[in-house]
Chains A and B, each alone.
Chain A
Amino acid sequence: MAIGSTHVTRRGFLGFTAAAAGVITLTACGADSDTGSKGSGGPLVMTVWGGEPDRKAYQQRIDLLVKKYPDLSVKLQLIPSDGYAQKVQTMIAGGSGPDIMEVAENVNVYSSKNQLLPLDELATKAGLDLEKRFGSIGKLYSYQDKVYAIPDRSGAMIVYYDKAAFEKAGLGTPGPDWDWAKIQGAFQQLTVPGKTWGYAGAGWWAQWWSFVYQNGGTIIDPSSGKPTVTSDPVVEALQWAGDLTFKSKVVPTKEQYADMGADIGGDQAFAGGKVAVNTTGFWAISGLKDSKVDWDIAPLWRGKDQAVTAFGSGLSISRTSKNPEGAFKAIEFLTSAEAQKVIIDTGQDVPANIEVQKSDAFLKPSWMTKPVDMTAFAKSSEFVYRAPFIPEWNEMQKAFDDGLADFWLGKQDAKSALTAIQSQLETIVKPAG
């Protein structure tokens, strides 16, 4: 026989190997846990995600830190956003987890698995008043009444709008007092079928969840910890968001987006003048600096209530850190007004420190080429809702992605999509207890 049976056995094994490659990597890493040499004298390892601009901003802040506390040294590890969670997971499993770790919505993936240090005591010892320094989001990254991360970057989702188009249509300036009917009317006026659209759409959780909370709904009931996505306010809000695409047609469909080019989303479409309104975070500003569109920003419109998603990230200390005191000292400084100013000076993001948010450095950034209403961020922060940062955050997001796929294609209504999601969430989300 040309191809012997011994051959296939080996192939089969190889086949399996590739399938279980991840498992293998981890096991291999797990084998040498506890041998990681990282004495308290070594540099603190800090992991953050992002690209080159982020590296620049973080490094500048670390330089300030070391200038002030020469006894501390911090090694910055920048990891591309896509692979951040996996990389950190492997580092921790391999026994060489970071000391300082950037976290966001998925903070409780780690805190619930006992990977982060509760920071309340360290904060008290350092005399850090979270609510004074960060306002309503001071204890955003909490799990079972303990704080696990100090807010570092923060900023509400804001409305980017085409100022020239709004003025031309005689619509005035959109603001937080506009209700759904009024903003929808504006979308309709600004839509030229097949050419430009009034709104970029609300397919991302941060967007349609804002409408849910504006409508008096919740995704997870805060008191019982149970998913509540089939309640009328949730269904109504999602249906409204979907109808913008399929009924009033003021939002491009997925097909129309795909035709604009590979990987074009709301941010790019807005910069290209294809949509008149886009709701997203601070980061879109950098993509608009060279745009021909005459744009400005405003706080999000309202439903029955005011509510908006906040983005951001916090800094946490991993359980395995050999020098938690040093790490906290670093975090305390990095989130102080002095270091946070760098975040806006480099145009990276919105600093979480309220003092900086209200300073001229933030309201009139030196790099901004045109007058933009930067007070939108501070105004929005007054009505940020508390999103459910549950330990099963990733699975919950996947359930929404899967369950709403047909809805966002216009093949299913909100009620039936959410009913299916609810039953899936019930198996995923374990109420805290």
Chain B
Amino acid sequence: MWFYVFVSPWLVGFLVFLLGPMIASLYLSLTEWDTFTAPTWVGLQNYVTLLRDDPVFWKALWNTFYYAAISVPLGLALGLWLANLLNKQVRGQRAFRTLIYLPTLVPLVATAMIFKMVLAPSGPLNQLLGFVGISGPAWLLDSDWVKPALIVLSVWGAGGATVLLLAAMRGIPRELYEAAEVDGAGPIRQFWSITVPQLTPIIFFNLVMGLIGAFQIFSQVYILTKPVGGPNNSSQMMVPLLFNEAFSFYHMGYASAISWLLFAVILVFTLLAFRTTRKWVFYETEVG
């Protein structure tokens, strides 16, 4: 009895704010609904149109894949590298740690506004590139470079992963390194044979979170690109597309269908990630 009382806030929240809307959106995805008049049942028509006749959907899907496929591994590699650096005993170690994590604390909207200036055709980034003799692209204005620009922005937040990796790194037993040293392993060999395997659970955690986050990219696109997803949909992603369909074009049913397809995509990738864990993620408890 008390169990249900205590669990009820969560239960009610789940039913009202999660399960209910999910069922509703599943129903809506099978209808055509302009949000004003009653929905009309269209069966699977929305899904058929999306998958067969909507070039923008495929473009957005491809863009989202592109973004996730580069930004997630890049963020992980960078996080790992930074964590490793921060783990060294150097002067000002604490200050460096703070500096690396600081960008993660800046609200995304503020960061995006700053990047709008940084990424201007003659902005600081291109000036920097100019010093080394590269004439930088027009980033956000160029359909070939707007996605890399968004990836650059995503790397800005690598500090979040860094902190988790660093914490895990500190938890690796010193004996392992000492033993390796006695056996004659150099620092590089130690990094690959001890640090990385010991960190795999955290890397895996960051991978899954990163994937989910990357597939749901919205604010950056919404703030940085004008029109949203431009130029010519070359930075259109799944969630901004969904938002447009629902709130600019009044195709709520269609937008719901997109959200379910996005759900399916994320589910598949997360499951794939879990499937591969056996091959590379190392859990100490399993060795026993």
Chain A residues packing against B (C-beta within 8 Å) = 1-3, 5, 8, 11-13, 15-20, 22-24, 26-28, 85-86, 89, 92-93, 109-110, 113-115, 254-255, 258-259, 261-263, 392, 394-395, 398, 401-403, 405-406, 409
Residues in B neighbouring A401, C-beta threshold 8 A: 227, 230
Contact A12 B263 (CB under 8 A): yes
Is the pair B259, A28 in contact by a Cβ cutoff of 8 Å? no
Partner of B21, one of A23, A115, A395: A23
Give bound CA distance, A249 to B37, whole Å.
49
Inter-chain contact B256/A23, CB cutoff 8 Å: yes
Q: Given A255-B138, A258-B121, A258-B141, are A20 and B25 also a contact pair (CB < 8 Å)?
A: yes
In the bound complex, what is the Cα–Cα distance between A27 and B25 (angstroms)?
8
Question: What's the Cα separation between A109 and B250 when bound, in Å?
Answer: 9
> How long is the Cα–Cα vector from A12 to B269 in the complex, in angstroms?
10
Contact B227 A402 (CB under 8 A): yes
The answer on a CB contact under 8 Å between A11 and B208 is yes
**B205 & A20 in contact (Cβ 8 Å cutoff):** no
List residues of B (13-33) whose CB comes within 8 Å of A's CBs: 16-18, 20-22, 24-25, 28
Q: Which residues of chain A are within 8 angstroms of B121 by Cβ–Cβ distance?
A: 255, 258-259
Determine the chain B residues whose CB is within 8 A of the CB of A20 once the complex forms: 21-22, 25, 242, 256, 259, 263
Closest chain-A Cβ to B29's Cβ sits at a distance in Å of: 9
Q: Given A26-B35, A113-B36, is A11 in contact with B120 using a C-beta cutoff of 8 Å?
A: no
Q: Is B116 an interface residue (CB 8 A)?
A: yes
Indicate if the CB atoms of A13 and B259 lie closer than 8 Å: no
Q: Which of B83-91, B159-167, B232-240 contacts A (4 or more CB under 8 A)?
A: B232-240
Given A16-B263, A89-B250, A406-B143, answer yes or no on A113-B232 (Cβ-Cβ < 8 Å).
no
Question: What residues of chain B lie closer than 8 Å to A394, measured between beta carbons?
Answer: 248-249
Q: Are A8 and B270 in contact (CB under 8 A)?
A: yes
Interface of B is mostly: helix
Given known A-B contacts A8-B208, A113-B36, A114-B37, A89 and B231 have beta carbons under 8 A apart? no
Assess whether B231 is in contact with A115, with CB atoms less than 8 Å apart: no
Partner of B141, one of A5, A86, A255: A255
* A-B residue pairs in contact (CB < 8 Å), sample of 19: A11-B212, A15-B216, A22-B246, A22-B247, A22-B255, A23-B259, A26-B246, A27-B28, A93-B36, A114-B36, A115-B36, A255-B122, A259-B123, A262-B116, A262-B120, A401-B227, A402-B233, A405-B231, A409-B142
How long is the Cα–Cα vector from A13 to B21 in the complex, in angstroms? 12
**A297–B251 CA distance with the chains assembled, in angstroms:** 41
> How far is A5 from B20 in the complex, measured between Cα atoms in Å?
24
Q: A23-B246, A26-B252 are in contact. Are A409 and B201 (CB under 8 A)?
A: no
Chain B 105-123 against A: per-residue CB contact (8 Å), 1 yes, 0 no?
0000000010011001111
Check: B191 CB closer than 8 A to any chain A CB: no
What mask results when residues 203 to 246 of chain B are scored 1 for a CB within 8 Å of chain A, else 0? 01100110010011000000000010011111000110011101
Cβ of A113 and Cβ of B34 under 8 Å apart?
yes
Contact assessment for A24 and B35 in the assembled complex, using a CB-CB cutoff below 8 Å: no
Q: Is B267 an interface residue when CB atoms closer than 8 A count as contact? A: yes
Our pick among B117, B216, B247, B270 for the contact of A85 (Cβ within 8 Å) is: B247
Taken together as a complex, chains A and B put the C-alpha atoms of A89 and B245 apart, in Å, by 13
User: Do residues A409 and B266 form an inter-chain contact, with CB atoms below 8 A?
Assistant: no
Cross-chain contact of B231 among A255, A258, A398, A406 (Cβ < 8 A):
A406
> Which residues of A have CB within 8 Å of B201?
2-3
Assembly CA distance A20 to B22 (angstroms): 8
- Report whether A19 and B216 are in contact in the complex, using a CB–CB cutoff of 8 Å: yes
Let me know if B233 and A92 touch, CB within 8 A. Answer: no
Q: Are B266 and A258 in contact (CB under 8 A)?
A: no
Residue of chain B at shortest CB distance from A420: B232
| B74 interface residue per 8 A CB criterion | no
Q: Are B21 and A28 in contact (CB under 8 A)?
A: yes
CA distance A23 to B33 in the complex (A): 11
Closest-by-CB residue of B relative to A407 is B232
Inter-subunit contact B242/A409 (CB<8 Å): no
Complex CA gap A405/B233 in Å reads 9
Whether B34 contacts A19 by the Cβ 8 Å rule is: no
Q: Bound complex: CA of A406 vs CA of B113, how far in Å?
A: 24
Closest B residue, CB atoms, query A112: B34
> Known contacts A11-B270, A258-B121; is A89 also within 8 Å of B263 by CB?
no
Q: Which 3 A-B pairs have the closest CB atoms?
A: A405-B231, A24-B21, A405-B232
Does B41 belong to the interface (CB within 8 Å)?
no
On chain A, the residues within 8 Å of B259 by CB distance are 16, 19-20, 23
Most chain B C-beta atoms within 10 Å of own C-beta, residue among A26, A109, A406: A26
Picked from A2, A12, A17, A23, the residue with its CB within 8 Å of the CB of B252 is A23
Q: Are B230 and A15 touching (Cβ within 8 A)? A: no
Q: Mark B170-201, 1 if CB is under 8 A from A, else 0.
A: 00000000000000000000000000000001
Question: Which of A5, A28, A261 is within 8 Å of B274, CB to CB?
Answer: A5
- Given A11-B208, A23-B246, are A16 and B262 also a contact pair (CB < 8 Å)? yes
Give A376 to B143 CA distance when docked, in angstroms.
Answer: 40
